Structure 1
Amino acid sequence: MTAVVPSLTLVRRIKAAPAAVFDAWTRPEILATWWGPHHTRVLEAEIDPREGGRFRVVLVEDTGARHEISGTYAEVAPPERLVFSWAWTNAPERVSRVTVVLRQIAEGTEVTLTHDRFADEGTATRHRRGWTESLDRLTTRFGAA
């Protein structure tokens, strides 16, 4: 029997063109305005959005706790798709994958985020909460479609 590897998929409809939403994922100054759960803010963001390029984001919680995420882009297809690895600096051996698909709809863009290859269900649950709040912040930035 093959073990099921936990994953999550979230969908949002945003009132902005796919190119603007793609920029929100790939331009550090825009990403810093929405990335992370509600109780965090982006302290640093470095993004090289090309296949083989790397990203690094440092979040700081309201409590002062710092968290660093980094990864490498496997696919960059503006303004439709991003695929990148994801690892926390405190657990570099636990690499997961994020796929972001942007689809134009009449009202703007439908964003489908899939985060997979989690080590366990608890990790998937924590990431679901974080991505839900991040996508809520992204939707607030542009408006819901």
Structure 2
Amino acid sequence: MRWFGPGGTRRVLLAETDVRTGGAYQVGFVTEDGLEHYASGHYQEVEHPRRLVFTWAWRDTPDETSLITLEFTAAGTGTELAFLQTPFVDQATRDGHEHGWSGAFDRLADHLASPA
């Protein structure tokens, strides 16, 4: 709830997760233009603490489902994250997701760097 969403996210509206193979999640947020965005999917693989694989689909385009793979590797005193999302219906959709995820990872980094 504190960090999810692309750069400029005004507010996270919803973050519900059931992190287990077959479990579902839903996220929702408001962007700086005032629009609400919702996505959901199911966890395909959960290998704590190394790997997380889940489907991703926006509420308004449910037929455009992609697969996200996150791999976590110990790196010094921290963790390295490898991120892959595929397939996309076109280059514009891919570019929009790249922008959104880059902003979300920046927000996550800021959250992790801030005092508890």
| Alignment partners' CA distance in 1, 2:103 and 2:31 | 14
1:130 is displaced (CA, Å) by 0.5
Give me the whole-angstrom Cα distance separating, in 2, the residues matched to 1:103 and 1:33: 24
> Which structure ranks higher in relative contact order (CA pairs < 8 Å, sequence separation ≥ 6)?
1
Instruction: Write the deviation string for residues 78-123 of structure 1: whole angstroms up to 9, x where unpaired.
Output: 1111100000010000000111111001130001111111111110
Gaps of 5+ in 1: 1-31
- Cα distance between partner residues in 1 of 2:111 and 2:71: 18
Larger % of helix: which? 1
RMSD of the alignment, in Å?
A: 1.0
The equivalent of 1:37 in structure 2 is 6
User: Where do 1:90-129 residues align within 5 Å?
Assistant: 90-129=60-99
Compute the displacement of 1:64 (Å): 2.3
Moved more, 82-91 or 54-63: 54-63
Distance in 2 (CA, whole Å) between partners of 1:34 and 1:77 is 23
Q: Distance in 2 between matches of 1:112 and 1:141?
A: 19
C-alpha separation in 2, matches of 1:80 and 1:138: 18
SS at match of 1:135: helix
Query: Residue 89 of structure 1 corresponds to which residue in structure 2?
Result: 59
Letter in 2 for 1:37: P
Kindly report structure 1 stretches of 4+ aligned residues shifted beyond 4 Å.
Answer: none
Aligned length in residues:
112
Could you tell me how far apart the structure 2 residues matched to 1:107 and 1:115 are? Answer: 27
Which amino acid counterpart does residue 7 of structure 2 have in structure 1? H
Partner residue, 1:13: none
> How does the TM-score come out when normalised to structure 2?
0.91
By how many angstroms is 1:63 displaced?
3.0
